[in-house]
Every structure is written in structure tokens, then in C-alpha cells.
Amino acid sequence: MENRIDVNIAGYALTVRTDRSEEHMARLAETLNGRVRDIQKQGGTANYLNIIMLAAMELADEVLTFDERFRELKDQVEALRSEREDLKTQVDRKSRNLLATLENALK
């Protein structure tokens, strides 16, 4: 179900059509507005559009960084799963060998 949600981004009213909740959209707007305020405090540019673009680029950079880290962690998890399977195979093989050795010793 698509909602029409009003948000305020850096003083500009915006109506968004989305499946996200109003609370989620409010959090997104507040996150972006917080970045805008941080950039404004740093100074350096008076152009509001530039400030908003810088804030969006900072957030996009974080998204890409988290995405890269997520992929790295996924790869590590897969490597650990593979290592676990290899170790399980080794333990199974050694267990069978030990059982065979014990059976031969008892004959």
C-alpha cells in the first residue's frame, strides 16, 4: 500500500509516495536534516543546494562503505562455512579410520 507522506528537508516541504511508514520517513528526513545542520556549522558554503548535496553525498558514502563491509563480512562467513565443512569432513574421515583401526585390533 503506497502512502503519501509529507516531510521537511532542509526547510523545504516535500510529499513522498512510498510504502515506508511515516515514522521511517521522519527518521530519514531527520537524518538528512542533521547532516545539513552539521555542514552548515562547518561553514564554507552559503549555497543551500550545495549543502544539501554535500549531506546527501556524505550519507551515500556511508551507505557504500557499509555495503562494502557487509560484502566483506558475507565473504568471511562463507569462508568460515566452507572451512567448517572441510573440518567436518576431516573429523568424519578420521573417525571412520579410528573405528576401522579399533575393529581390526579387536579381531
Enclosing domain of residue 89: 3-106
What is the rounded (10 degree) CA torsion for 10, 13, 17, 18? 40
Share of the chain above pLDDT 90, in %: 83
| Grid cell digits, residue 47 | 549555497
* pTM confidence score: 0.70
Number of domains forming the structure of the chain? 1
Per-chain mean pLDDT for the chain? 93
How does pLDDT run along the chain (107 residues), one tens digit per residue? 689 999 999 888 999 999 999 999 999 999 999 999 999 998 877 788 899 999 999 999 999 999 999 999 999 999 999 999 999 999 999 999 999 999 999 88
User: 18 phi and psi, to 5 degrees?
Assistant: -155, 160
In this structure, which amino acid lies at residue 68? E
